[in-house]
Structure 1
Amino acid sequence: MIVSPKELFTNCYGKYAIAAVNVFTMEQVHALFRAGEKANAPFLVQITPAARNYAHANMLSKIIEAASKIYPKTVYAVHLDHGDEEHALDAIASNTYNSVMIDASHDSFDKNVERTRAIVQKAHKKNVCVEAELGVLSGIEDDISVDEKEARYTKPSEVEKFVELTQCDSLAVAVGTSHGAYKFSGGEGIQFDILEDIQQRLPYFPIVLHGGSAVNEKEISRINRSGGALNEGATGVSPEEIVKSITYGVCKINIATDTRLLWARVHREFFRDTPELFDPIVPGKKYMEANEAFMLEKFELLGATGKANQLIQ
């Protein structure tokens, strides 16, 4: 059952968080929906512009629609992640998304407000929620590349005015996380003093944490032992920080890097151990099983297991 993110966030605020998972392939969609149904956990399916370019927006939408029928007990929303005006407007017009993100975080405050407000006005006419971003995250993901030196924490003094002027429905903030498998700047992790200040200024307003992957060092080591060359010093958000962030109003936690690392590890090990095989179905099944197990653990960590029933009327 597809539900509005507003309903998801109202139900979870301060108690648990919604996993927002980027998908590119059929295997990832199967694993996510299968885990969501098994855990009775609500979730967001996220599609990036890069994913739309890779698989085509219509193809991804149809895969998600099919998954909702294969796994009819799931409770989910469909979200456009990191879109510009073109992507956001297309998603709104398609009637297949009930949430879009307009990422104008690299602009000045006033320009960010202008661009975000324009999308909000069009989205709300069709009951589509809008996520905005204030502050800039470092790292690399899809087409996003931001040098550590250019990364800026969100200024708590700006959040009230920004939300009031844009009327956005949720706010992604820069509080120390990063896109991709990269170290935190200075190894300091989430800046909870900033997060607390934001929550005090925007009580009960849903906050979004981008760069929410854990970047498991064991996965990176296994990838490298199978022929990979990833940075073994890379790290993500610790489980303890994820759980703590929920109490500060974080309702939506984005996950992308972890499922990509999982894909790389499963396929590298498979072809290393069975070089005589070439059928994509075999490692594909292994990846779906591993991804499902990963998502079950993530739902449990976020406190979302068993919560979907609360959203079914």
Structure 2
Amino acid sequence: MPMVTLAELMAKAEEGKYAVGAFNCNNMEIVQAIIMAAEAERAPVVIQASQGAIKYAGLDYIVALARLAGDKTSVPVALHLDHGTSFEQCVQCISSGFTSVMIDGSKHALEDNIALTNRVLSVARAVGVSVEAELGKIGGTEDDIHVDEKDALFTDPEEARYFVDKTGVDALAVAIGTAHGQYKGRPELDFDRLAKIEQLVDVPLVLHGSSGVPDEDIRRAIEIGVRKVNIDTNLREAFTEGVREVISQKPNEIDPRKILGPAKERMSEIIREKIRLFGSSNKA
């Protein structure tokens, strides 16, 4: 089926009180794993590409892989730019066929973030593309973007209301204690802050850095109002575990298909688990 927008997925998720899984892709095997899992679970899904993925695979390859996957499946699929940091990059992705983009202006002052977001919105709205923005800084490392723990600032609920009023974005990523990358210990999420934000804004909320967050915390965040949950690190872990296992058992194996095939299967199983956790199974 044709690609859908993030706004379409979020509207149904809000109606059904579940979250849609957004999974980062870097190559063909990851795209295939995402689609395999989504089809098996009959779930809507977001395939997203970061700056690092685009730099590694090439924008045209990412779009071609995702669009082919979307065309061949009967579940709703959105293609989303994860953590776009410039107007130019967002426009390039929109022009190339992304159905949704994230403009991450969280490093800027509030008014500058609003101005940048509105600039992207002016282009995206004209061609029916969704826009996600971020307010507050999510810790950890996301490709070339690094936020030290001491610099990670939680989202201010009143600022969130002001930001949404001034932009009207389709989704808002909030900082409540999650981080990109692998956790050193159990993350402590600020659910009171999340609930306050949910009360004050009327757009779907997004949880970044969700790999490694305990299942019960993910469920609680979704109950409060999170409608999109980003997963990347868990896929990287599953991929490398699958590859390492083959190499350790068969050190002389040289067939890429036999090395990457098990990694793809392992990623798909992880994605299916996440989809069930998010409540989006059988919501296609």
- Calculate the TM-score normalised by the size of structure 2: 0.96
* Paired position in structure 2 for 1:207: 205
In the TM superposition, residue 284 of structure 1 has moved relative to its aligned partner by 1.0
Whether 1:51 and 2:50 are equivalent positions in the alignment is: no
Deviations 1:95-121 (A, max 9, x none): x11110001101111111111111111
* Paired position in structure 2 for 1:78: 79
Whether 1:280 and 2:279 are equivalent positions in the alignment is: no
* Paired position in structure 2 for 1:117: 118
Question: Runs of 5+ in structure 1 lacking a partner?
Answer: 214-235, 309-313
Relative to structure 1, the CA distance from residue 69 to residue 165 in structure 2 (aligned partners, 3 Å threshold; closer, same or farther) is closer
Q: What are the equivalent positions in structure 2 for 1:37-48 lying under 5 Å apart?
A: 37-48=39-50
Q: Say if 2:239 and 2:264, in contact at 8 Å, map to a contact too.
A: no
Q: Say if 2:9 and 2:20, in contact at 8 Å, map to a contact too.
A: yes
Deviations 1:178-204 (A, max 9, x none): 0011336xx55211010000011014x
Counterpart-to-counterpart distance in 1, 2:57 and 2:196: 40
Question: Runs of 5+ in structure 2 lacking a partner?
Answer: none
Counterpart-to-counterpart distance in 2, 1:76 and 1:65: 9
* Paired position in structure 2 for 1:264: 240
* Paired position in structure 2 for 1:33: 35
* Paired position in structure 2 for 1:93: 95
Deviations 1:37-63 (A, max 9, x none): 111000101011111111111011111
* Paired position in structure 2 for 1:311: none
Query: Percent identity at matched positions?
Result: 39
Counterpart-to-counterpart distance in 2, 1:68 and 1:45: 9
Q: What residue identity is the alignment partner of 2:209? A: G
Q: Secondary structure at the match of 1:247?
A: helix
* Paired position in structure 1 for 2:175: 174
Counterpart-to-counterpart distance in 2, 1:53 and 1:161: 34
Number of residue pairs the alignment of both structures matches: 281
* Paired position in structure 1 for 2:147: 146
Counterpart-to-counterpart distance in 1, 2:153 and 2:217: 20
Q: What are the equivalent positions in structure 2 for 1:118-137 lying under 5 Å apart?
A: 118-137=119-138
Counterpart-to-counterpart distance in 1, 2:71 and 2:118: 35
Q: What are the equivalent positions in structure 2 for 1:178-257 lying under 5 Å apart?
A: 178-183=179-184, 187-203=186-202, 205-213=203-211, 236-257=212-233
Q: Say if 2:19 and 2:228, in contact at 8 Å, map to a contact too.
A: yes
Q: Say if 2:253 and 2:259, in contact at 8 Å, map to a contact too.
A: no
Superposition CA RMSD, Å: 1.3
Runs of 4+ with >2 A deviation: none
Counterpart-to-counterpart distance in 1, 2:197 and 2:67: 36
Deviations 1:108-165 (A, max 9, x none): 1111111111111111011111100000011112111111010000000111110111
Q: Secondary structure at the match of 1:172?
A: strand
Deviations 1:253-292 (A, max 9, x none): 0000000011111112211121111221102110111111
Counterpart-to-counterpart distance in 2, 1:249 and 1:271: 42
Counterpart-to-counterpart distance in 2, 1:39 and 1:108: 41
Deviations 1:200-224 (A, max 9, x none): 1014x200000011xxxxxxxxxxx
Counterpart-to-counterpart distance in 2, 1:276 and 1:77: 39
Counterpart-to-counterpart distance in 1, 2:68 and 2:153: 40
